[in-house]
Amino acid sequence: MPVGTPYKKHRTFEGYDTIIIGSGIGGLTVAALLTKFGDKQVLVLERHYTAGGFTQSFTRPGYEWEVGARYIGQVLRPGSLASRLFYTVTNGEIRWATLGEVYDRVLLGDMTFDFVAGAERLLDAFYQAMPQARGRVEIAELSIPLSTVESTGYPQGGIYGLAHTPARFRDPLLHPQTPIGNLYLTGADISTADVVGAMVGGALTANVSLRINLLKAS
Ligand SMILES: Cc1cc2nc3c(=O)[nH]c(=O)nc-3n(C[C@H](O)[C@H](O)[C@H](O)COP(=O)(O)OP(=O)(O)OC[C@H]3O[C@@H](n4cnc5c(N)ncnc54)[C@H](O)[C@@H]3O)c2cc1C
C-alpha cells in the first residue's frame, strides 16, 4: 500500500508481518528496524492525514510551527544513543543543524530572556537578568517535564504523555510485551518522553519482536 493511501478504503491487510498503529517516531522506529533487521513486511496505519505524530510541523502563510518537538539533544555527539538511533533508522540520511548559542527566546513585556546552551551558562544568564535572585536559588534543575508543569500548568508534565513518576516506570503494563500475544506497545509511553525516548521505545519493541538487542553499542 503506497504512503498516503486512506486505509478506510482497504478492508484487508494481507501480506504484512506486522501492523503498526500510529506513525509517531516510536511507531516509525519500530517499522524501520523490523524492515531493516527482520526483513519484515510492515504496514503503518495513521489516523491523521500525515505521518509523524508530535514530530510533524505545519505552515500558515509566512510561518512554520512544530506541533511538538522543536529540538533534540545529543544528535551531534558521535556515539551517543540519539545519534546511533537516528543514523540506523534513516540510513544516515539526516543532516543536523545546531541551534547555536541561543536555543529559545522568551519575551516578557519589555524584557527579553535568551535560553543559552548549558545548565551553568543558563543559570548565569538568569542571574544577569535577575540579579536579585543570586544567592537565593536553592535548587536548579534543567528538566523538560518540570518546565512543562511550570509553563503550562498541566499536572506532572502531562502534555508530554504519562507522568514521569516512579510508579510509571514500575507499571508492569508499560512494556513492549503485553498480556495479549502478538500485541506490542511502543513509543514514549513505554520509555521516556521526548523524540529519542520514543525511539528507544521503538527499539525496545523491535528487540522483543526480533529477539535481538538493537540498542547494544557496537
Ligand atoms: C508541545 C510539545 C513539545 C515537545 N517538544 C519536544 C522537543 O523539543 N524535543 C523532544 O525531543 N521532544 C519533544 N516533545 C516530545 C516528543 O515530541 C514526543 O515524546 C514524541 O514525539 C512521542 O512520540 P510517540 O511515537 O511516542 O507518540 P506520538 O508522536 O504521539 O505518535 C502517536 C501517533 O499515533 C497516532 N494514533 C493514535 N491513535 C491512533 C489510532 N487509533 N489509529 C491510528 N493512528 C493513531 C497519532 O495520530 C500519532 O500520529 C514535545 C512534545 C510536545 C507535546
Let me know if residue 218 belongs to a domain. yes
C-beta separation of 40 from 17 below 8 A = yes
Q: 34: domain range?
A: 1-98+173-218
113 phi and psi, to 5 degrees?
-125, 125
Ligand 1 centroid to Cα of residue 67, in Å, is: 9
**Are β-strands 57-60 and 63-66 bridged in parallel, bridged antiparallel, or unpaired?**
antiparallel
Tally the domains of the chain.
1
Contact 190, 201 (CB under 8 A): yes
Q: Which one of 23, 72, 183, 194 would you pick to mutate in the ligand 1 pocket, going by the greatest count of ligand atoms within 8 A of its CB?
A: 194
Is 23's C-beta closer than 6 angstroms to any atom of ligand 1? yes
Ligand 1 atom closest to Cα of 48? Answer: 47
* Ligand 1 and 55: CB distance under 6 A: yes
Report, as ranges of residue numbers, the positions in the chain whose pLDDT lies below 50: none
CA distance 163 to 29: 23
Look at residue 148 in the predicted model and tell me its pLDDT. Answer: 59
Is residue 47 domain-resident? yes
125 in a domain, yes or no? Answer: no
Is 103 a domain residue? no
Residue 131 included in any domain: no
For residue 150, being part of any structural domain is answered with no
User: What single-letter DSSP state applies at residue 61?
Assistant: T
Cα 97 to ligand 1 centre (Å): 22
Give residue 45's pLDDT: 93
33 in any annotated domain: yes
CATH number at residue 214: 3.50.50.60
Residue 87 lies in a domain: yes
